[in-house]
Homo-oligomer: A and B are copies of this chain.
């Protein structure tokens, strides 16, 4: 065995350990946060509760109990891990963890209506089951509930957390608006900078907010909180870049989606926009392909064009760069990175996941 292979094996082992660690953290977060989250959702008026419980995978459409997947709990896990990293008691941060999960699910409910997506977490989306009116209204109520949870908390950081989460929701809205607006534009009419700003608003902002809320609940000052927010944002952007790569080159057996699903949908994901803006011949080829219908043959040729135009390499480098910046920000918030092991494991997990 050469040194290089041994290094690679070590790295793989470390990644596996991180991955197991993250899986354990996520499972632990679910069991810590879910009781309070369920109680809160139970406080909703019946007509709205049934939509929320269906969306969370706790009930079938007919109201019978379901043990469906309720998402990976990454955002609440970040809240608890950030609180712990700064010496706080995660048990005291269960409310902001639930609030962040509610805010995330509010965006999913509305995004599915807006994007007319029919499937979420392997189930029909709420609007396809209950209609768009009920899905919009349930999303509204879940957003109000998230902010109510914080406003009703007597923790000294609750007002600051509430203001921060509300500001983040406004940013998420701007991100979703930009995403929709970009869909209307032709290939080549969306710049890479615009695309990165959109991904930061739509994905990075809430991961950043989750970390910031954990910091606030640990009694952190403004500077530490801002650094935690920046850590989550950078990790969130790395996550989005990896997600976009998976959307083109992901293994269909692992993702549950056909190969090149994002290309088939003409998505202007980050690697695609990087390729389109590369000024290369392959970029021009891609623009031509994107102007027409995406047959399976066109999808394969487009994936090849993105790669030849440098979109794949760019996204991989960017993701690594963002993770580097994330760790740098984290070290500003938590000088002794040993205390931030959970946060690092979660960041590794979201940027290494296969689907």
- A181 neighbours in B (Cβ, 8 Å): 47
| A100-138 near B? 1/0 per residue, CB < 8 Å | 000000100010011000000000000000001110111
State which of B48, B141, B174 has its C-beta within 8 Å of the C-beta of A48: B174
- In the complex, what distance in Å separates the CA atom of A28 from the CA atom of B276? 55
User: Quick one: given A151-B151, A151-B163, A152-B163, are A170 and B110 in contact (CB under 8 Å)?
Assistant: no
State which of B45, B138, B170, B178 has its C-beta within 8 Å of the C-beta of A171: B45
- In the complex, what distance in Å separates the CA atom of A160 from the CA atom of B176? 31
- Min CB distance, A154 to chain B, in Å? 9
Asked whether B136 lies within 8 Å of A148 as measured between CB atoms, the reply is no
Asked whether A148 lies within 8 Å of B134 as measured between CB atoms, the reply is no
- Min CB distance, A249 to chain B, in Å? 29
User: Quick one: given A114-B132, A137-B110, are A144 and B173 in contact (CB under 8 Å)?
Assistant: yes
Q: Does A9 contact B (CB under 8 A)?
A: no
- Min CB distance, A143 to chain B, in Å? 6
- In the complex, what distance in Å separates the CA atom of A106 from the CA atom of B147? 15
- In the complex, what distance in Å separates the CA atom of A159 from the CA atom of B136? 26
Asked whether B163 lies within 8 Å of A144 as measured between CB atoms, the reply is no
- A141 neighbours in B (Cβ, 8 Å): 169-170, 173-174
Closest to A179 in B: B133
- Min CB distance, A216 to chain B, in Å? 12
- A145 neighbours in B (Cβ, 8 Å): 166, 170
Contacts of A247-266 to chain B: CB distance below 8 A: none
Q: Is chain A's binding surface mostly helix, strand, loop or mixed?
A: helix
Could you pull out 21 A-B pairs where Cβ atoms are within 8 angstroms? Answer: A44-B170, A45-B171, A45-B174, A47-B177, A114-B133, A133-B180, A137-B173, A137-B177, A138-B177, A140-B169, A140-B173, A143-B144, A144-B169, A147-B151, A147-B166, A150-B151, A151-B160, A151-B162, A152-B159, A159-B159, A162-B162
Q: A151-B151, A152-B159 are in contact. List 19 more A-B contacts (CB 8 A).
A: A45-B171, A48-B170, A110-B137, A114-B133, A114-B136, A114-B137, A134-B177, A137-B176, A137-B177, A139-B140, A141-B169, A144-B169, A144-B173, A147-B166, A148-B163, A148-B167, A151-B166, A152-B163, A159-B159
Q: Does A158 contact B (CB under 8 A)?
A: yes
- In the complex, what distance in Å separates the CA atom of A169 from the CA atom of B140? 8
- Min CB distance, A138 to chain B, in Å? 8
- A162 neighbours in B (Cβ, 8 Å): 147-148, 151, 159, 162
Which A residues form the contact surface with B (CB < 8 A)? 44-45, 47-48, 106, 110, 113-114, 132-134, 136-141, 143-145, 147-148, 150-152, 158-160, 162-163, 166-167, 169-171, 173-174, 176-178, 180-181
- In the complex, what distance in Å separates the CA atom of A103 from the CA atom of B328? 40
- A167 neighbours in B (Cβ, 8 Å): 144, 148
Which 7 A-B pairs give the minimum distances between C-beta atoms? A148-B166, A45-B174, A151-B163, A144-B169, A151-B162, A141-B173, A114-B133
